[in-house]
Amino acid sequence: MEVERCIGHLDCDAFFAAVELLRRPELRGKPVIVAHDGPRSVVTTATYEAREHGVGSAMPLSVARRRCPDAILVPPDHDAYREASEAVMAVVRDEVDTVQQLSLDEAYVDLSGLVAPRAAMRRVVRRIHRETSLHVSVGIGPNKLVAKLASDAEKPKGFVVLDRRQAWRRWADASPGLLPGIGPRTTELLAERQISTIRALARISEHQLSEWFGPRSGPWLWRRCRFDDHDPVVPVREPVSESRETTFSQDIDDPEDQEHALRRLAAKLFDALEQQGRRGRTVGIKVRLADFSTVSRSRTLTTPVEDAELLAETAVAMLREYGPQQPVRLLGVRMASLELVDGPGVQLTLPWSP
DNA sequence: TCTGGGGTCCTATTTCCT
DNA sequence: TCTGAGGAAATAGGACCC
């Protein structure tokens, strides 16, 4: 028996930029862009003043500068954002039992069974602002999909409550690309078939969508365009993989330089995992060439990688075997099949043979 | 306009095992 | 020993998200 759910989605407004503005109030009201200052940088976050000039997230910094020459550039400070995030999420968890944090600035909450879910979320919003001076937008709906669309609909400081029918009325004529999970590629594939609205997509049979997009994605699309979504709010999820990668300010041609960069990334990744008490059995590399094409290689070992040297050597070996035929723009190292190292004591006790 | 870094998930293909 | 079906796991690539 499916019980009617009530799901909330909460999203901090221009989060990174907002945190910077708290530290530097003199920037308030000005166009601010959070990004590293490099030739190949992209915009991480922009204040609404900068967005008015057409600046948006993930946009090349070179473009953003052209569109908004007066913008003030602030380098990202992830430690500060993590701290602010912890303060925000602490409030959310204090007010709601079931919280799924998606990123530093976003979370789903399960409000099912609450007598006054809206009042609960109003309280969360007020407390977050009182305790952190940050603003959030909230969406409430019968599932994650509607909640997320709703939180995005009227930001900043939005508070939108919709049921499925209202969501349909509001967005039936919008592009399928509005729906989270439908990106540029799928939007294009649909457009080739003359499907450019959610309404048009909803007229396609599940069977047809499965033929076009496969046995999982087809039915998923069929449900999505009906604003139907049964994904539960899952409080804790173990990480699947972790990686470190870097784009060079200039492409690297020399194999020795490439290997050196790869070793540095491997060391960084190993340190991070060791801090968490995690290790993985699968080592992967990622290579982006000058023409922006990307190649990956991976190798699964019989036992989890126990030392930094093995990780680095495995990565370097794969890079040598691949042997890039173009200058390299980006290198990355990844570990997957992650597991938690046993508690203290177990690895101190060597399994010896008599 | 010229594209970061850190992730998740899906698909197709290959490989290995029974 | 050869052959093959079918599934699980590994691999590569790509779409997508913040």
Topology agreement, domain A172-224 and domain A242-340 = no
Domain A16-77 belongs to what architecture? 3-Layer(aba) Sandwich (3.40)
**Tokens read off for A62:** 């070179």
Per-residue pLDDT of chain A (354 residues; tens, 9 = 90+): 667 999 999 999 999 999 999 999 999 999 999 999 999 999 999 999 999 999 999 999 999 999 999 999 999 999 999 999 999 999 999 999 999 999 999 999 999 999 999 999 999 999 999 999 999 999 999 999 999 999 999 999 999 999 999 999 999 999 999 999 999 899 999 999 999 999 999 999 999 999 999 888 999 999 999 999 999 999 988 999 999 999 999 999 999 999 999 999 999 999 999 999 999 999 999 999 999 999 999 999 989 999 999 999 999 999 999 999 999 999 999 999 999 987 653 443 333 332
pLDDT number for residue A300: 93
Is the minimum distance from the CB of A60 to strand B below 7 Å? yes
Q: Helix, strand or coil for residue A49? A: helix
Please state which architecture CATH assigns to domain A172-224.
Orthogonal Bundle (1.10)
From the C1' of C18, which residue's alpha carbon is nearest? A103
Catalytic residue set of A: 106
| A240 is near strand B: CB distance < 7 Å | yes
Give, to the nearest 10 degrees, the angle between helix A217-224 and helix A206-213.
Answer: 130
Enumerate the domain spans of chain A: 7-14+79-127+134-163, 16-77, 172-224, 242-340
- Between CA A233 and CA A294, with CA A179 as vertex, the angle to 5 degrees is 95
A330 strand B contact, CB < 7 Å: yes
**Residue A294, nucleotide of least CA–C1' distance:** C13
Strand B positions within 7 A of protein Cβ atoms: 1-12
**B2 nearest neighbour residue (CA to C1'):** A60
- Contact, A312 vs A262, CB < 8 A? yes
E strand spans, A47-123: 72-74, 98-103, 106-110
**CA-to-C1' distance for A127 and B1, Å?**
41
Q: Stated in angstroms, how far is A40 CA from B3 C1'? A: 8
Q: What is the CATH number of domain A242-340?
A: 3.30.1490.100
pLDDT at A343: 63
Protein residues with Cβ atoms closer than 7 angstroms to any atom of nucleic acid strand C: A 58, 102-106, 148, 179-187, 281-282, 284, 293-300, 337
pLDDT of amino acid A2: 67
Which nucleotides of chain C are near protein (any atom < 7 Å from a CB)?
A: 9-18
Distance A24 CA to B10 C1' (A): 43
Tokens of A318: 């794969």
Dig out the tokens for A227 from the structure: 């604003």
Fold for domain A7-14+79-127+134-163? Alpha-Beta Plaits (3.30.70)
**Residue A133, SS3 per DSSP:** coil
Taking the CA of residue A250 and the C1' sugar atom of nucleotide B3, their distance in angstroms comes to: 14
* Cβ burial A212-229 (10 Å sphere, 16+ → b, else e): bbeeeebebbbebbebeb
